[in-house]
Structure 1
Amino acid sequence: MDGELVLLKIKRPRSLLRKMEVRVRLQGLELEQNISTSDSAVLGENEIKRIPSGFVAAHSVQCLFGTKLRLTESRTLLFIIKNCLLRSTVAYVDLIWAGMSNSKKHKKYRKRQKRSRSNMSTPKLKTAIITGANSGVGFGIAQRLLDHSERNPDEPIRIILACRNQERAIRARDTLLTKYPNGDIVVTLVDTSSVRSVFEFCNGIKKKYKKIDLLFCNAGILSCDFIDWSIVARQVFTDQIALLTETQCIVQPVGKLTSEEIGETFATNLFGHYVMIRELVDLLAVSGESKVIWTSSLTCRRSDYDPKDFQGCQSKSPYESSKYAIDIIAIAMNDFLNRRNIKSFTTHPGVVATNIVRSHMPWIMGKVMENLFYVARTVGLSMTTGTGWNGSYANYYVAVTPSDELDASVKYGSFIKPWGTVYVRKDDVDKYDEGEAKSLLQNLNDLFERFQKKKKGIDYNANGH
């Protein structure tokens, strides 16, 4: 803008143009000087200093007034601001008329100006929902977002801890507030295994909030009938990596259903979140840059999933089945969500010693596993992130990285270097098939519509079996 003229037109009655205060604002820098309409004024080089934020301020700002610029018949006053050396900004002036404080028009004008300045200066608050946020990776996500807000005051984030157990959720909130006392944290109850609970949760969210910027579909369960210690013993001597990174020793129940007659693991890990997305899609669409971020698993493979048994009711590995279904549905949903300017991504936390696994083991075994992760990390097993804080890095990375710099067709994973530095790696979803993904999406949509009809009082067999 060096040497260019910026023309500003401000319409005001001629009777007000006796004396005025001119305020020139450049990226938060304010300079004030009272002048009369017949004078000229130059704000000198010494009056404008370098702005701390790194933007380059003007070397000089020259305001020309008086007889050279006369009012037109439409009572438009013309101001010219000259010689602005700015980078990615625009100089402008505010007019405040002296002696008119009792004027109704002036009060309306000042109120409008105050509201305008408030809108410009108030940071844009983002709202993030994290399911399963009271422990593990979900708690790590909340920690990272609060830490991000603390380090970046102009990027505040409200955290909604969406949890099944109120006592644990409140305990998690209190723990977070101890470290981040200025954090904006809300506790809301939801059980993703219950479609009814998800409907009630979404109704409450729609009443309280105008938009949702981030939805972390993180809640999950790994059901266990018992630990097969013979597999543990064999893997100790033959496949230590599998012992740490896979769930072969956990014998999962087959055919376990919820009270609503759908696969329990499928409902908790996947379908409850799908219902949540469908119910909250209007709020997600408000900001124009919202993200749905799924927490999948490092261990899931295409071989764990049967398209004919998408709920995993007949599977011996319903956890891995649901996690692979998450991977493909996270990608497939973009066809629907992108039309509303919403992006969907899938992530995994690496191998983490969270309650989802440790709850099935004796206390001492959980401690042993936790320590083994540190040993494995030092010898180069980069997937053994170990903690919820480390495992949540991929979720956080996707949340704060601009969408146009991300690839929604891959899986973002948390990994760790031997000395403890976490990083993100992109990997393709194992044997992703678009037709298979669309078929799953259609099945989820049909199931969702059946529950919607039930909510309206129409009975049906939700399972469809």
Structure 2
Amino acid sequence: MSLYRNLAFFTKGVREFTRAGYERAAHAFNPDELKNVDLQGKRVIVTGANSGIGLCCAKELARKHAEVHMVCRNPERAEAARKSVIDETANQNVHVHIVDLSQPREVSKFCSEFASSHPSLDSLINNAGCMVNERNLNADGLEVNFATNTLGTFVMTTSLLPLLKKSPDPRVIVVSSGGMLTQRLNAADPALKHATIANEAFDGTIVYAQNKRQQVVMTEMWAKENPEVFFAAMHPGWADTPAVATSMPSFHQRMQGRLRTPEQGADTAVWLAMTPRLREFENGSFFLDRQPAPKHLPLARTHSTLEEQEEFMRTMHQLAEPFNQPQI
């Protein structure tokens, strides 16, 4: 089954996830849809905003006059990214917060402090992520890919929900990946505490894809529980970003010339943060190139039951609970 999934995924990817796929899809975009959007007075957070897709999101939101909060891990690169956003957009209302998403205590502390100093939040773009190809544990004994991609996103989102609900049009956008199409939700052991997937040797690519499936399920479940907030997961396509070059060097080399630009990869996340048509779509959808996209490949047997999804969410709440901080 995994061979079929991988083959079906790669075939679909070459057709839809490349630069050529984006350019074909872009013919259907309405060029005037975002033309008159003005985000003056809107407050947005973008995680992983110092490079690649996150930096592109920050620039486009700043260009539309939003108050942009860039959550980054590295102080020097974060400040350089902030300066580039201000220089390119002339928007001075751009701020940096240093947070390591792989450390849930840091994430929770940031959210508590942010909530104490800001009256509301209009949009959260969960872009930060990693693909570590060896099994490494964080300070709390959690596998680093899961801690960053899944638990970090979970703590960030759930902690900021009260602030988001104070906005008249709150949005949460999760930058997932089409790689999740190859994975069925592992509800029994989402943090991979007891085994690697399918009892194989640790494979960072598979773990990352499982994390991205987890993000899509979280997005669905959050949408059901919080209908006043619009939740969307999205696939940026195969984009030429520093993260891809570092984590998947052979894929990056093989696909040179066919990868999307970072701007093309960021386009749907930016559109989700801006479009006035968002409520025309089903809450909790998965998007590719400004359109809802299937969450499963045909015949791939990656669907999970509602009971499994609920079990997964209970586990996430249990894992997050020790790190929760009261809102100041």
* TM-score tier after normalising by the smaller chain length: 0.7 to 0.9
- Contact 1:305–1:320 (CA under 8 A) maintained in structure 2: no
Please state if 1:436 is matched with 2:308.
yes
Secondary structure, counterpart of 1:258 in structure 2 = coil
Instruction: String of CA shifts for 1:349-375, please: whole Å, max 9, x gaps.
Output: 00012122212477xx798557421xx
Q: 1:124 to 1:354 in 2, by over 3 A?
A: closer
Please state if 1:356 is matched with 2:243.
yes
Secondary structure, counterpart of 2:46 in structure 1 = strand
Equivalent residue letter for 1:221:
C
Match of residue 150 from structure 2: 270
Tell me, in whole angstroms, the C-alpha distance in 1 between the residues paired with 2:160 and 2:115.
Answer: 7
Match of residue 125 from structure 1: 41
Tell me, in whole angstroms, the C-alpha distance in 2 between the residues paired with 1:123 and 1:399.
Answer: 10
Equivalent residue letter for 2:318:
D
Residue 304 of structure 1, CA deviation: 5.3
Please state if 1:321 is matched with 2:195.
no
Tell me, in whole angstroms, the C-alpha distance in 1 between the residues paired with 2:125 and 2:48.
Answer: 9
Residue 405 of structure 1, CA deviation: 1.6
Q: 1:360 to 1:310 in 2, by over 3 A?
A: closer
Tell me, in whole angstroms, the C-alpha distance in 2 between the residues paired with 1:183 and 1:308.
Answer: 47
Match of residue 372 from structure 1: 257
Instruction: String of CA shifts for 1:80-115, please: whole Å, max 9, x gaps.
Output: xxxxxxxxxxxxxxxxxxxxxxxxxxxxxxxxxxxx
Tell me, in whole angstroms, the C-alpha distance in 2 between the residues paired with 1:360 and 1:192.
Answer: 17
Structure 2 length-normalised TM: 0.77
Query: Paired residues, what number?
Result: 273
Instruction: String of CA shifts for 1:140-197, please: whole Å, max 9, x gaps.
Output: 11122123x1xxxxxx311100001111110101111121113421011111110111
Tell me, in whole angstroms, the C-alpha distance in 1 between the residues paired with 2:75 and 2:266.
Answer: 22
Tell me, in whole angstroms, the C-alpha distance in 2 between the residues paired with 1:123 and 1:132.
Answer: 21
Match of residue 11 from structure 2: none
Match of residue 105 from structure 2: 196
Structure 1 length-normalised TM: 0.55
Equivalent residues in 2 for 1:415-430, closer than 5 Å: 424-430=290-296
Match of residue 286 from structure 2: 411
Tell me, in whole angstroms, the C-alpha distance in 2 between the residues paired with 1:432 and 1:295.
Answer: 20
Q: 1:366 to 1:168 in 2, by over 3 A?
A: farther
- Contact 1:398–1:406 (CA under 8 A) maintained in structure 2: no
Match of residue 161 from structure 1: 70
- Contact 2:223–2:284 (CA under 8 A) maintained in structure 1: no
Equivalent residues in 2 for 1:227-238, closer than 5 Å: none
Tell me, in whole angstroms, the C-alpha distance in 1 between the residues paired with 2:39 and 2:266.
Answer: 25
Match of residue 233 from structure 1: none
Residue 261 of structure 1, CA deviation: 1.5
- Contact 1:353–1:366 (CA under 8 A) maintained in structure 2: no
Match of residue 420 from structure 1: none
Secondary structure, counterpart of 2:109 in structure 1 = helix
- Contact 1:345–1:411 (CA under 8 A) maintained in structure 2: yes
Match of residue 215 from structure 1: 124
Q: 1:361 to 1:263 in 2, by over 3 A?
A: closer
Match of residue 136 from structure 1: 52
Residue 437 of structure 1, CA deviation: 2.1
Tell me, in whole angstroms, the C-alpha distance in 1 between the residues paired with 2:225 and 2:265.
Answer: 29
- Contact 1:222–1:265 (CA under 8 A) maintained in structure 2: yes
- Contact 1:198–1:275 (CA under 8 A) maintained in structure 2: yes
Q: 1:135 to 1:369 in 2, by over 3 A?
A: farther
Residue 133 of structure 1, CA deviation: 0.4
Match of residue 99 from structure 1: none
Equivalent residue letter for 1:435:
E
Instruction: String of CA shifts for 1:197-218, please: whole Å, max 9, x gaps.
Output: 1122112211221111000111
Please state if 1:293 is matched with 2:168.
no
Secondary structure, counterpart of 2:61 in structure 1 = helix
Residue 123 of structure 1, CA deviation: 8.0
Tell me, in whole angstroms, the C-alpha distance in 2 between the residues paired with 1:387 and 1:330.
Answer: 26
Gap regions ≥5 residues in structure 2: 1-37, 198-202, 297-301
Gap regions ≥5 residues in structure 1: 1-121, 150-155, 225-252, 374-383, 415-423, 457-465
Match of residue 186 from structure 1: 95
Tell me, in whole angstroms, the C-alpha distance in 2 between the residues paired with 1:142 and 1:178.
Answer: 12
Please state if 1:451 is matched with 2:323.
yes
Residue 442 of structure 1, CA deviation: 1.2
Tell me, in whole angstroms, the C-alpha distance in 2 between the residues paired with 1:214 and 1:123.
Answer: 11
Match of residue 220 from structure 2: 331
Q: 1:179 to 1:197 in 2, by over 3 A?
A: same
- Contact 1:262–1:311 (CA under 8 A) maintained in structure 2: yes
More strand by proportion, 1 or 2? 1
Residue 124 of structure 1, CA deviation: 5.4
Instruction: String of CA shifts for 1:368-388, please: whole Å, max 9, x gaps.
Output: 557421xxxxxxxxxx4x222
Match of residue 8 from structure 2: none
Tell me, in whole angstroms, the C-alpha distance in 2 between the residues paired with 1:404 and 1:330.
Answer: 15
Tell me, in whole angstroms, the C-alpha distance in 2 between the residues paired with 1:266 and 1:199.
Answer: 16
Tell me, in whole angstroms, the C-alpha distance in 2 between the residues paired with 1:437 and 1:389.
Answer: 33
Secondary structure, counterpart of 2:159 in structure 1 = helix
Equivalent residues in 2 for 1:106-121, closer than 5 Å: none
- Contact 1:409–1:428 (CA under 8 A) maintained in structure 2: no
Secondary structure, counterpart of 1:333 in structure 2 = helix
Whose radius of gyration is greater, 1 or 2? 1
- Contact 1:312–1:321 (CA under 8 A) maintained in structure 2: no
- Contact 2:131–2:247 (CA under 8 A) maintained in structure 1: no
Equivalent residue letter for 1:436:
E
Equivalent residue letter for 2:322:
R
| Percent of matched pairs sharing the same residue | 25
Pick one of 393, 397, 411 that aligns with 2:267.
393
Which deviates the most, 318-327 or 269-278? 269-278
